[in-house]
């Protein structure tokens, strides 16, 4: 479990993290979302014990990072931003260094190194210097380091940053399999990641908590939630007709491809009426889609306070 | 295994997988030889002892120890591994001590590799080997002080160049502070007691008697306390960096 309690960090006059209180439970993948410079990494560094909080505190598995820093660190696996590691060591040497630092028993340590190396598919590069590895491999080495002691709490700062789509997929699957009995906190600015991984999202901007919800709840805040969009040639006629439907709030036409989006009035469902109307009018629709809501739009709205226009 | 020895082993490993260790050892041994035989007039003195060898050590350490210690924290801060290291279950004390011991042991190795000089002097005459042993011990203690200064000041900055210069500067001050010229300079301005106190801070003064074979507890205490003092300062500095 990770808990932060009014966690605050100032750099001189700048408040990087401002009275942040969040909570992540076992079985949860909590996404810490925010624009660059929002304070995500600073918050994580305080939870990991690298930076001291200016005020407030954080607890990892009930261990206060200020009063019991070593116990908190033992319960935590942490991947710092950019996945730093000692480049002059080989992957094996680096992982053995972590084994010693975490005081794992030698037999447990060797077994775990084998397991994580297999899990992250590092077998082929085990004897290579980390400096010679690609960015994706180095990130995997960082992940291996974080999960080596099988921690109950995992905190990953931008775990898929700089990976290619296949590697992203692999890392997400790994996080997914580990999520069942663990508490996982990941920071990201990739909205696709939220869909793929998180069952709760915390959005911060300028160091303050802006939203704490499930991805579905966030999507529901979108203007696009429940909207219906379709492509139909000869749309001039249908627009007028659609406007007469009692459930419809607005209609927008994409100037580029002519795709029509119909927005519902609050709480109304419009897929069926729109479909019926189109059918009655005998209009050919190549494809029709019910929108779940757009996270990127909600994200912009929450973090900058301005919504999209069109 | 304790985190201290884990840090120590990793540091030593880093020395030896890069050319740093070998370059250092070669330069150290070559310089030690040149300084002893040419600058120190080893043969012309006609005495079977290693005083010309030990007398040069403060100047040797002045250049070479900062080169070893400058990367200690500065490199980790710059490369981001400091965050990794300090979020592992290790106290600042353990991390600093591991790094300090690694560098100190390494200098000890370099010092040990000067044994041919000891062979030479034993071949040429019959020196007092107890005095020579005391000299080695004193030299290693002094090296420890230099290393402790370096490991503290390296924590101050992300730049290895700045760490080198700061360390060398503090070390040269500590070497020179007891010299008559320096003390005369302050003669009129500072009270006599303070000048005496300052003179006692001088490394040369404490090392000089050890190098002559006088193993005084006070001199050894001076070096040990200096080491502890600078290490405490290093830990405080690292802790300060967490909070600001």
- Over residues A280-294, the pLDDT tens digits come to 877 777 788 888 888
Interval B40-98: pLDDT, tens: 677 777 676 787 888 888 889 998 999 999 999 999 999 999 999 999 999 999 999 99
- Chain B nearest-CA distance from A272, in A, is 55
Per-residue DSSP letter, A64: E
Indicate the burial class of A260 (C-beta count within 10 angstroms; 0-12, 13-18, 19 or more).
Answer: buried
Closest CB from B13, B87, B88 relative to A89: B13
- Chain B nearest-CA distance from A77, in A, is 9
Residues A76 and A209 in one domain: yes
For residue A213, list its beta bridge partners.
Answer: A201
- Quote the pLDDT of residue A237: 57
CA atoms within 13 A on the CB side of B5: 5
- Quote the pLDDT of residue A248: 84
Alpha-carbon distance B161 to B148, whole Å?
17
Residues A279 and A158 in one domain: no
For the beta carbon of residue A301, count every other beta carbon within 10 angstroms: 19
Under an 8 A CB cutoff, do A52 and B243 touch?
yes
- Does residue A187 sit within a domain? yes
**Phi, psi of A105, deg, nearest 5:** -65, 145
Boundary of a domain, candidates A188, A213, A238: A213
For residue A210, the surrounding DSSP H or E stretch is strand A208-213
- Does residue A303 sit within a domain? no
Q: b or e along B217-229 (b: 16 or more beta carbons within 10 Å of the residue's beta carbon)?
A: eebbebbeebbee
For residue A289, the surrounding DSSP H or E stretch is strand A287-290
Alpha-carbon distance A224 to A294, whole Å?
6
CB of B228 closer than 8 Å to CB of B147? no
Total domain count for chain A? 2
Residues A266 and A164 in one domain: no
Query: Is A83 or B41 the better-scoring residue by pLDDT?
Result: A83
**CATH code of A286's domain:** 3.30.70.100
- Quote the pLDDT of residue A249: 84
- Quote the pLDDT of residue A309: 43
pTM of the entire predicted model: 0.89
- Quote the pLDDT of residue B67: 92
Residues A136 and A235 in one domain: no
Q: What residues make up the domain containing A262?
A: 228-291
Closest CB from B10, B88, B243 relative to A73: B88
Structure tokens at B125: 């005459």
Q: How many residues in chain A?
A: 310
Q: Scanning the structure block, which residue is given the tokens 């479990």?
A: A1
- Does residue A189 sit within a domain? yes
Residues A257 and A139 in one domain: no
Strands A153-157 and A183-188, how do they pair?
A: parallel
Mean pLDDT of all residues in chain A? 88
Helix axes A165-178, A135-147, angle to 10 degrees: 10
Closest CB from A51, A81, A101 relative to B3: A101
Residues A166 and A277 in one domain: no
Interval A199-241: pLDDT, tens: 899 999 999 999 999 988 888 888 888 888 888 766 555 677 7
Under an 8 A CB cutoff, do B83 and A89 touch?
no
Residues A132 and A191 in one domain: yes
Q: Scanning the structure block, which residue is given the tokens 């005095």?
A: B131
Closest CB from A48, A86, A129 relative to B87: A48
Closest CB from A54, A74, A97 relative to B10: A97
Under an 8 A CB cutoff, do A100 and B88 touch?
no
List Cα–Cα distances, B69 to A282, B75, B144, in angstroms.
81, 10, 11
Query: For residue B234, which of B109, B117, B150 has the smallest C-alpha distance?
Result: B150
**Phi, psi of B99, deg, nearest 5:** -70, -45
Residues A6 and A35 in one domain: yes
- Does residue A236 sit within a domain? yes
Structure tokens at A155: 């905190």
Under an 8 A CB cutoff, do B87 and A103 touch?
no
Per-residue DSSP letter, A265: P
Under an 8 A CB cutoff, do A88 and B3 touch?
no
Chain B residues within an 8 Å CB radius of A52: 242-243
- Does residue A202 sit within a domain? yes
Residues A27 and A120 in one domain: yes
CB of A165 closer than 8 Å to CB of A145? no
Chain B residues within an 8 Å CB radius of A49: 86-87
Task: Give the residue-averaged pLDDT of A170-193.
Answer: 88
Interval A94-139: pLDDT, tens: 999 999 999 999 899 999 999 999 988 899 999 999 999 998 899 9
- Quote the pLDDT of residue A246: 84
Under an 8 A CB cutoff, do A89 and B10 touch?
yes
ipTM value for the complex: 0.88
- Does residue A223 sit within a domain? no
**CATH code of A188's domain:** 3.40.50.300
Give the residue on A whose Cα is nearest the Cα of B91. A70
Residue A310 pLDDT grade (very low, low, confident, very high; cuts 50, 70, 90): very low
Q: Is the pLDDT of residue A162 over 80?
A: no
Under an 8 A CB cutoff, do B89 and A73 touch?
yes
Interval A22-33: pLDDT, tens: 999 999 999 999
The stretches in chain B having pLDDT less than 70 are 1, 40, 46, 48
Residues A233 and A176 in one domain: no
Residues A6 and A115 in one domain: yes
Chain B residues within an 8 Å CB radius of A76: 87
Share of chain A above pLDDT 90, in %: 50
- Does residue A218 sit within a domain? no
Find which of A49, A86, A98 to mutate to test the B interface (most B CBs within 10 Å of its CB). Answer: A86
What region does A56 belong to: left with phi over 0, alpha with psi -120 to 50, or beta?
Answer: left
Put the strands of the sheet holding A228-231 in their side by side order: A248-253, A260-264, A228-231, A287-290
Q: Is the pLDDT of residue A266 over 60?
A: yes
Alpha-carbon distance A166 to B136, whole Å?
59
CB of A21 closer than 8 Å to CB of A43? no
- Does residue A80 sit within a domain? yes
Strands A260-264 and A287-290, how do they pair?
A: unpaired
Closest CB from B2, B10, B84 relative to A84: B84
Residues A267 and A145 in one domain: no
Indicate the burial class of B59 (C-beta count within 10 angstroms; 0-12, 13-18, 19 or more).
Answer: middle
């Amino acid at each position: 479990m990770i808990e932060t309690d009014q966690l605050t960090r100032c750099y001189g006059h700048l408040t990087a993290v401002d009275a942040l209180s969040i909570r992540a439970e076992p079985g949860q993948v909590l996404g810490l979302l925010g624009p660059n410079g929002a304070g995500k990494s600073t918050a994580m560094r305080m939870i990991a014990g690298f930076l001291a909080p200016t005020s407030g505190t954080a607890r990892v598995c009930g261990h206060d990072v200020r009063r019991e820093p070593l116990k908190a660190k033992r319960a935590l696996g942490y991947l710092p931003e950019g996945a730093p590691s000692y480049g002059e060591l080989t992957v094996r040497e680096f992982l053995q260094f972590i084994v010693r630092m975490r005081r794992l028993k030698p037999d447990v340590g060797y077994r775990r190194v084998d397991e994580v190396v297999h899990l992250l598919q590092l077998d082929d590069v085990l004897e290579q210097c980390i400096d010679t590895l690609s960015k994706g491999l180095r990130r995997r080495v960082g992940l291996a380091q974080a999960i080596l002691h099988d921690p109950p709490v995992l905190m990953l700062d931008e775990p898929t940053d700089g990976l290619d789509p296949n590697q992203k997929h692999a890392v997400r699957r790994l996080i997914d399999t580990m999520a069942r009995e663990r508490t996982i906190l990941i920071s990201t600015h990739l909205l696709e990641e939220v869909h793929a991984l998180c069952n709760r999202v915390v959005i911060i901007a300028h160091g303050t908590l802006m939203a704490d919800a499930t991805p579905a709840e966030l999507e529901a805040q979108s203007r696009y939630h429940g909207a219906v969009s379709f492509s139909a040639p000869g749309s001039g006629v249908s627009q007028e007709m659609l406007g007469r439907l009692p459930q419809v709030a607005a209609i927008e036409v994409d100037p580029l491809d002519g795709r029509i989006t119909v927005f519902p009035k609050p709480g109304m469902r419009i897929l069926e009426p729109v479909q019926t109307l189109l059918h009655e009018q005998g209009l050919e629709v190549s494809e029709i889609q019910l929108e779940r809501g757009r996270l990127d739009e909600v994200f912009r709205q929450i973090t900058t306070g301005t919504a999209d226009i069109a | 295994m304790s985190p201290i020895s884990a840090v120590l082993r990793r540091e030593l490993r880093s020395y030896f997988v890069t050319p740093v260790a070998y370059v250092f050892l070669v330069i150290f041994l070559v310089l030690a030889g040149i300084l002893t035989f040419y600058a120190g007039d080893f043969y012309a003195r006609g005495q079977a002892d290693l005083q010309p060898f030990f007398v040069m050590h403060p100047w040797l350490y002045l250049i070479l120890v900062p080169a070893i210690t400058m990367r200690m924290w500065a490199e980790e801060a710059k490369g981001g591994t400091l965050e990794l290291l300090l979020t592992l279950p290790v106290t600042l004390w353990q991390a600093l001590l591991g790094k300090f011991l690694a560098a100190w042991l390494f200098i000890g190795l370099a010092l040990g590799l000067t044994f041919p000089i000891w062979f030479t002097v034993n071949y040429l005459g019959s020196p007092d080997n107890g005095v020579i042993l005391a000299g080695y011990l004193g030299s290693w203690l002094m090296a420890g002080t230099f290393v402790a200064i370096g490991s503290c000041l390296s924590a101050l900055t992300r730049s290895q160049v700045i760490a080198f210069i700061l360390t060398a500067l503090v070390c040269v001050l500590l070497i020179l502070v007891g010299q008559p010229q320096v003390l005369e300079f302050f003669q009129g301005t500072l009270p006599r007691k303070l000048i005496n106190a300052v003179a006692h801070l001088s490394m040369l003064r404490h090392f000089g008697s050890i190098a002559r074979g006088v193993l005084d507890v006070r001199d050894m205490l001076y070096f040990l306390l200096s080491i502890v003092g600078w290490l405490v300062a290093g830990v405080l500095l690292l802790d300060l960096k967490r909070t600001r």
